[in-house]
Structure 1
């Protein structure tokens, strides 16, 4: 009985978000989630920032943006930690989109008010995979910082 009670509180409705198709939009969302979780703290400010980015980029209302984020969380969890989501996007999106993704990632990294070394490392790895020069990457970061 105790096990059933624990199971209920872990997932009271029994509902499981299905794994979404690994399209570019969901891969980008999964990368946002991974950036938010990079410092091992996934806080409300980061979640709200992800919802805001998804809503703006995909023309979604707040409820649909939150649903998409939930799908992206499932996708992010399904891709092994050593699997690089940025590699999926690198071939799927244009240079302009890569820069837009980097801007969104910096927004998420700064959403909690702290910048951690591990987040900085993730960002530089993504910039490298995307083929963005160090100078251009710094310009994008400064856009968000300022």
Structure 2
């Protein structure tokens, strides 16, 4: 078995090429992609929602947001675990930005009207890594639900 593992590793790049080191924006974007893909059904509506969230939170135009999301998709694919992204957000942003990030995650989870276990698990892992409480998460979820019902 170790020989086979060595064989396959020889064909993998040691480090993902062409990917930037994630900052808080890219970390959140990768988490949004991770949540959207958790059900293995990455829909156009979710992609558009992620673009709109990136536009809203980081003042991008539509093209810039799509480019950032595309980079985030690559980061997610080559990605460290959810904790790494969450910790990066915790260490580089303030409480208000972390709450906004948590709301953005809930926005993607709730976009299709269903809350799937895998999506919720990612949000919970990210919440813990961002240093936010369960109550913070529930309040963020309720705010998003209120906006979606308005």
> Which position in structure 2 is the counterpart of 1:34?
34
Gaps of 5+ in 2: 1-16
What TM-score comes out, normalization by structure 1 length?
Answer: 0.80
Alpha-carbon contact 1:20-1:72 (below 8 Å) kept: no
> Which position in structure 2 is the counterpart of 1:56?
56
Q: Please identify runs of 4+ aligned residues in structure 1 that moved more than 3 A.
A: 80-84
What TM-score comes out, normalization by structure 2 length?
Answer: 0.78
> Which position in structure 2 is the counterpart of 1:72?
72
Deviations, residues 68-124 of structure 1 (Å, cap 9, x unaligned): 110111111111457642122221211111100000011111122321011111112
CA RMSD of aligned residues (A): 1.8
The SS at the match of 1:87 is: helix
Structure 1 residue 43 corresponds to structure 2 residue 43? yes
Shift, 1:131, TM fit: 2.1
Alpha-carbon contact 2:82-2:126 (below 8 Å) kept: no
Between the two proteins, the alignment pairs up a number of residues equal to 130
Gaps of 5+ in 1: 1-16
> Which position in structure 2 is the counterpart of 1:85?
85
The SS at the match of 1:140 is: helix
